[in-house]
Amino acid sequence: MTRPQVVVIGSGAGGAAFAWALADAGVQVQILEAGPRYDPLKDYLLASNGWEQQGFPAKVPIAGRQTHAPLQLLENRWADLRSWNHLTGHSLASDRRSFLAYNHVIGVGGTTLHFTGESHRMHPLAMQMQSRFDVAADWPFDYAELEPFYVEAERLIGVAGPSDPGVRTRSAPYPLPAHNLSYASQKLGKGCRKLGLSWTANPVASLSRAYDGRPPCNYCGNCTRGCPRLDKGTADLTFIAKALATGNCTITTGAYVLRLLAGSNDRVKAVVYGSTRRQHRVEADYFAVACGAVETPRLLLNSSPAGSSDGLANESGLVGRNFMETLFWASAGLHPEPLGSHRGLPSDAICWDYNAPDAIPGVVGGCRFSPSTAEADLIGPINYARRVVGGWGRSHKTSMREQFGRMLAVGGIGENLPDERSFIDLDPNEKDAFDLPKARIHSHLAATEIERLDFIAKTCRRILAAAGVKKVIEEYGSYDAFNATHVFGTCRMGTEAKTSVVDSSCRSHRWRNLLVTDASVFPSSGGGESPALTISAIALRAARKLLHSI
């Protein structure tokens, strides 16, 4: 390709969808992706001996790319929210919250390669948190405006979901029928019903039937290790493959974008990316940054126009602010019956009953619950040996035979409201291989967040007990650990230039040929909805709006 019309930086849930929508409309797109491609058949080695220990086989290390400021001190009154295991005690010894990881993937398809595949639409009220509940910020459009783009994203990804839409009204059914629930998930469902709670099929990007040239799921349960079967609708297999097939899109891998270069007339003129040997410059008419909610603000802050040190598109001062993370909790225990819980689709069911922003008594912001045995990594013998069974020799073997497949875990994820103490800035001391400051993560859980987490933890325990688990043996959550999988908010979209970074079409209020098309634009996090589908829907909408200008 010669000079592209649009450069897209990053190929995750947002960048990939945005690139596809433009390429499909005939626009010449170049994607610059810092990481490599993954070959599901060669890279996701679930049939190898070491499958359980390898986790997601990241080709570019995830740890160490960002730094973090000291996290908050833990309080005795929330001792019940410490992570623990019945064999080893407290999982984290520190009296401060510990930084474990910002779990993102550098590669074609971004973090969707690692994701579980939950494909949620936002609760309509969770997009109006300021006007209705006096917290966070309103989205600059409503659910009805985003709905057609949800339909399109679900069709392109291949989402399997239930026929009853609940409050998330739909103009078309899911492209695929919901998966049947695993036996273990049905047990949790019985527990929920005893408590008067609902338990329905979770919409997921794992195929329940062959679709679009890909086979159906085989229920191996290893989605977060990378799906070797190709049925999980990751961005590389869906949006990127389709974008490349148009002939209008190219992707440059190993292209780590270092900075955007501001030109005259409030327009960005080029990007500079580094590869192993040298730096390259690419000019285009439009630039979309989609590096995820931590690396996108970093790139903008590292791209100050001449004469400024505030970063690019930061006229509001909000680039990096309003950082929201994953507020989560999981409780796990041994069930008296053999459940075969080491197999089955992770998170195949969901309880939405507390998802509305006003559903949790006394705290604004919702949450939801789903099975989390696979996400807790309790599906293989090594984790059973280390975390469940304990002991040595013959008694260990006997217990292992008795207990394997009986672990039952339920997890909850909740709203995380923006807080002025949670933000991303540039680390003044630590730099990367290109001598650029790393992103520094500041995270603080306010009292309201901990109260919401406390409700989530107590409800997980109630669900497990009602499902027949007599003794909880392990729990973990975000009270004592930053271990974020969903991150948002650091380039908020909104109607006012003073209070947001981009407008409702994801374009910078000032730099009109600059867009942000990833999770950074979320004005609020939602009540535990997994974000990838919404990120893609927002990106599709932004691309369609941009077509009016191209």
Ligand X SMILES: Cc1cc2nc3c(=O)[nH]c(=O)nc-3n(C[C@H](O)[C@H](O)[C@H](O)COP(=O)(O)OP(=O)(O)OC[C@H]3O[C@@H](n4cnc5c(N)ncnc54)[C@H](O)[C@@H]3O)c2cc1C
Residue 180 or 250 having the CB closest to ligand SF4: 180
The one-letter amino acid at 168 = R
Question: Which option in ligand X, ligand SF4, none does residue 425 bind, with CB closer than 5 to 8 A by kind?
Answer: none
Least distance to ligand SF4, CB of residue 162, Å? 18
Least distance to ligand X, CB of residue 83, Å? 17
Task: For the segment 227-256, give every residue that binds ligand SF4 (CB under 6 A).
Answer: 227, 229, 231-232
Interaction between residue 116 and ligand X (CB under 6 A): yes
CA distance 293 to 311: 16
Interaction between residue 54 and ligand SF4 (CB under 6 A): no
Question: Which option in ligand SF4, ligand X, none does residue 222 bind, with CB closer than 5 to 8 A by kind?
Answer: ligand SF4
CA distance 117 to 324: 20
Question: Which option in ligand SF4, ligand X, none does residue 291 bind, with CB closer than 5 to 8 A by kind?
Answer: ligand X
Question: Which option in ligand SF4, ligand X, none does residue 13 bind, with CB closer than 5 to 8 A by kind?
Answer: ligand X
**From 103-111, 165-173, 207-215, 304-312, span contacting ligand X (CB under 6 A):** 103-111
Q: What are the E-state strand segments in 184-295?
A: 200-201, 249-252, 256-262, 268-274, 279-283, 286-289
Task: For the segment 476-535, give every residue that binds ligand SF4 (CB under 6 A).
Answer: none
Taking CA 326 as the corner, what is the angle to CA 437 and CA 96, rounded to the nearest 5 degrees?
Answer: 70
Interaction between residue 117 and ligand X (CB under 6 A): yes
Question: Which option in ligand X, ligand SF4, none does residue 483 bind, with CB closer than 5 to 8 A by kind?
Answer: none
Task: For the segment 345-364, give every residue that binds ligand SF4 (CB under 6 A).
Answer: 345
Taking CA 369 as the corner, what is the angle to CA 366 and CA 372, rounded to the nearest 5 degrees?
Answer: 140
When binding is defined by CB under 6 A, the residue of 292, 371, 477, 528 that contacts ligand X is: 292
Output phi, psi for 506, to 5 deg.
70, 20
Interaction between residue 14 and ligand X (CB under 6 A): yes
Cα separation values, 64 from 33, 92, 101, 432, Å: 19, 19, 9, 10
Q: Is the dihedral of CA 10, 203, 192, 188 positive or negative?
A: negative
Interaction between residue 157 and ligand SF4 (CB under 6 A): no
Give per-residue burial for 283-294: e unless 16+ CB within 10 Å, then b.
ebbbbbbbbbbb
Residue 119 is given by DSSP the state -
Residue 413 or 469 having the CB closest to ligand X: 413
Could you tell me how far CA 29 lies from the centroid of its own chain?
Answer: 25
Around Cβ 265, how many Cβ atoms within 10 Å? 8
Interaction between residue 222 and ligand X (CB under 6 A): no
When binding is defined by CB under 6 A, the residue of 206, 303, 370, 443 that contacts ligand SF4 is: 206
Residue 238 is given by DSSP the state I
Residue 34 or 389 having the CB closest to ligand X: 34
Taking CA 454 as the corner, what is the angle to CA 452 and CA 460, rounded to the nearest 5 degrees?
Answer: 105
Least distance to ligand X, CB of residue 403, Å? 25
Question: Which option in ligand X, ligand SF4, none does residue 518 bind, with CB closer than 5 to 8 A by kind?
Answer: ligand X
CA distance 531 to 416: 13
Residue 217 or 240 having the CB closest to ligand SF4: 217
Bridge partners (DSSP) listed for residue 160: 176, 204
* Tokens found for residue 280: 């390259």
Around Cβ 137, how many Cβ atoms within 10 Å? 22
**Contact track, ligand SF4, 20-49, x by CB under 6 A:** ------------------------------
Q: Binders of ligand SF4: how many residues, by CB under 6 A? A: 13
When binding is defined by CB under 6 A, the residue of 182, 206, 224, 416 that contacts ligand X is: 224
Taking CA 1 as the corner, what is the angle to CA 26 and CA 22, rounded to the nearest 5 degrees?
Answer: 25
Least distance to ligand SF4, CB of residue 205, Å? 8
Give per-residue burial for 464-490: e unless 16+ CB within 10 Å, then b.
bbbbbbeebbbbbbbbbbbbbbbbbbb
Interaction between residue 303 and ligand X (CB under 6 A): no
> Are the beta carbons of 506 and 495 closer than 8 angstroms?
no
**Contact track, ligand X, 483-522, x by CB under 6 A:** --xx-------------------------------xx---
* Tokens found for residue 501: 């970074």
When binding is defined by CB under 6 A, the residue of 27, 217, 408, 515 that contacts ligand SF4 is: 217
Least distance to ligand SF4, CB of residue 231, Å? 5
Question: Which option in ligand X, ligand SF4, none does residue 234 bind, with CB closer than 5 to 8 A by kind?
Answer: none
Bridge partners (DSSP) listed for residue 371: 410
Write out the residues near ligand SF4 by the rule CB under 6 A: 206, 217-223, 227, 229, 231-232, 345
Write out the residues near ligand X by the rule CB under 6 A: 9-15, 32-35, 103-104, 106-107, 110-112, 114-118, 224, 256-257, 290-293, 295, 299, 485-486, 518-519, 530-533, 535
